[in-house]
A and B are shown apart, each in its own frame.
Chain A
């Protein structure tokens, strides 16, 4: 299978604190890959390294075989990788439609144009409206994003991420802070909108992870201790010891 994302011996330290040490990871085209791990394992940091938000301390990141190490976030996005954020990161003072449209503009080839009227760009409008339809916010088109409900903002977060039609989508805890029903809806949304794309997802909800992912990587203290299919991960004693066991204990206590 063709490798879409490849991490080669990636390291990241903040000052003297080592957050990621020596992560190797390969994710194939069309794969739904989940990254799990206890709090503080470095999952979000790993995302920030892949998407260019933070520079790497050492190692290499490849996207579709090309080295993207050290590129700026917008450069990585233009190469077809789009990400969402764990803490909702939207344009609060713009309407839902405008939020989505911001996600569409670059990929529709508008660039920094100041000679096109944005309302007259039929392709941009069509794609933005289609995306709003898909995330179920079409009725909220002209509402300011800052006034949406939390679940709606999370859906918008995913909408902005997929609006540009990126082939690789990184979602950082799309169900964070959601109720059971909201989570189920959000996961259905994720399943639909990432059809035919490569999906990487950080998720805490084990039910979700094992239901959705083709393969799972377990990140513990900045290292990938196991990668495999859901069955392999479930059966892996190291994972049970390091992570699932701890989690089971937590749930048992709760």
Chain B
């Protein structure tokens, strides 16, 4: 047995993850927080499954919602049949039905999409997404048309006191599946197929010349990814008790791409962060403002431009600096940059909200931000927020220069110390 110092760290990491899952609903007890957590758990599985394609296999898919959506549809029918007493599957195992459905459709569509890589793959995945969406609307008998198919997740007698009626029980069901799926998808990266998926992503030609059929590698990777997407679909079906055409739509496919990219495509755990942030935008922010999609879009844009490795890369970049005990030098510029960004954000939010109020027919134009009440039809708030935005941007520019200078001097020192 070889001494593997990594193992301890790994145990700590996985245990910490498990503890977070257990403790999260105890910390945030409002019912809204629970809704948020459930959707985050589902999205984590979905985004990680998407990154099996994009991050690990180099396949940019515009139609990943096909697999989660169809998985959800099959689950909703299974759940309804269980409710009618046609057969019996315990509710906690229903996501497996979704997963198997995802797998079947992954095999079916993957056979077509994975014949080519690169742009062709992206285009075919887009086409299949549109095709499935059209089919869902064309066959209302099975898919329920625009309204979708509703269900009731409380079926049969409670088992061990679990009826899965209360949201907290749904949360723990999602948490358990989420943990298992994270572990399973991580394990897959450590298999011959997982490693060859990386190789095919990097250099498909060379992969052919070491004996691997790249098409086959992509196909298997997509089929497995579709399985986990189906599990996520099954869980969302149990959570929302309704599945509609929106579940297979291009909006969902685009959403998972956004979430994964924001989190960090090059890193296994990136999509986990991305899913959390994405659900925060979609669910929490959408309750506050109609402009949430604009904010999400701007955030995505900023990430693509300034942090293409996502949030995960921003975090990992700090590790060598912390190891070298130099992080203290960066604290001040970080705080300054953060404060400047907040200031700019406040100005931006003010302007965006006023634009939305004015553009909307019959909306009230008086609004309040941070206790300040004002009217979007007046000139003064426009000038004020414009000034705040300009001041914030100017400050951010100075702060990032300061940060950049310190950062590069630390990096130079770190490089110089290397042999």
- Chain A residues within CB distance 8 Å of chain B: 51, 53, 72-74, 77-78, 82-83, 85, 89-94, 98, 101-103, 105-107, 110-119, 121, 160, 163-164
With contacts A105-B195, A112-B193, A119-B190 known, is A77 near B209, CB below 8 A? Answer: yes
CB pair B195–A98 under 8 Å, yes or no, is yes
B212: chain A residues at CB < 8 Å are 74, 105-106, 112
B205: chain A residues at CB < 8 Å are 53, 89
CB pair A105–B206 under 8 Å, yes or no, is no
CB pair B190–A113 under 8 Å, yes or no, is no
Q: Which of B171-204 contact A (CB under 8 A)?
A: 187-188, 190-196, 198-199, 202-203
Contact sample, A vs B, 9 pairs, CB 8 Å cutoff: A77-B210, A94-B198, A98-B199, A101-B195, A105-B192, A105-B212, A111-B192, A112-B196, A160-B206
A119 and B2 CA atoms in complex are apart in Å by 12
Q: Which residue from A92, A94, A114 sits with its C-beta under 8 Å from B192?
A: A114
A73: chain B residues at CB < 8 Å are 208-209
B217 lies within 8 A of chain A by Cβ: yes
- The listed residue with most A CB atoms (<10 A of its CB), out of B192, B205, B208, B213, is B192
A28 and B83 CA atoms in complex are apart in Å by 72
CB pair B211–A91 under 8 Å, yes or no, is no
Task: Given A105-B196, A114-B188, output 19 extra A-B contacts at Cβ < 8 Å.
Answer: A74-B214, A77-B211, A82-B210, A85-B206, A89-B203, A89-B205, A90-B206, A92-B202, A93-B202, A101-B195, A102-B195, A105-B210, A105-B211, A106-B211, A110-B192, A112-B196, A114-B193, A114-B224, A118-B194
CB distance from A128 to the nearest CB of B (A): 11
A115 and B206 CA atoms in complex are apart in Å by 24
A118: chain B residues at CB < 8 Å are 190-192, 194-195
B397 lies within 8 A of chain A by Cβ: no
A103: chain B residues at CB < 8 Å are 210
A192 and B378 CA atoms in complex are apart in Å by 83
CB pair B194–A114 under 8 Å, yes or no, is yes
B339 lies within 8 A of chain A by Cβ: no
A107: chain B residues at CB < 8 Å are 211
CB pair A51–B209 under 8 Å, yes or no, is yes
The 7 A-B pairs with the shortest beta carbon distances in the complex, nearest first, are A106-B211, A110-B192, A114-B193, A73-B208, A77-B211, A91-B202, A114-B191
A160: chain B residues at CB < 8 Å are 206, 210
With contacts A117-B190, A118-B195 known, is A78 near B211, CB below 8 A? Answer: yes
B406 lies within 8 A of chain A by Cβ: no
CB distance from B317 to the nearest CB of A (A): 16
Q: Which of B339-367 contact A (CB under 8 A)?
A: none
B217: chain A residues at CB < 8 Å are 112
B216 lies within 8 A of chain A by Cβ: yes
Q: Which residue from A106, A111, A112, A119 sits with its C-beta under 8 Å from B210?
A: A106
B207 lies within 8 A of chain A by Cβ: yes
A41 and B191 CA atoms in complex are apart in Å by 43
CB pair B208–A72 under 8 Å, yes or no, is yes
Q: Which of B356-390 contact A (CB under 8 A)?
A: none
CB pair A91–B191 under 8 Å, yes or no, is no
CB distance from B250 to the nearest CB of A (A): 29
Q: Which residue from B194, B213, B224 sits with its C-beta under 8 Å from A72?
A: B213
A77 and B205 CA atoms in complex are apart in Å by 12
CB distance from B252 to the nearest CB of A (A): 26
A119 and B190 CA atoms in complex are apart in Å by 7
CB distance from B203 to the nearest CB of A (A): 5
B199: chain A residues at CB < 8 Å are 91, 94, 98, 102
CB distance from B163 to the nearest CB of A (A): 36
B137 lies within 8 A of chain A by Cβ: no
A106: chain B residues at CB < 8 Å are 210-212
CB pair A117–B187 under 8 Å, yes or no, is yes
CB distance from B205 to the nearest CB of A (A): 7
CB pair A74–B213 under 8 Å, yes or no, is yes
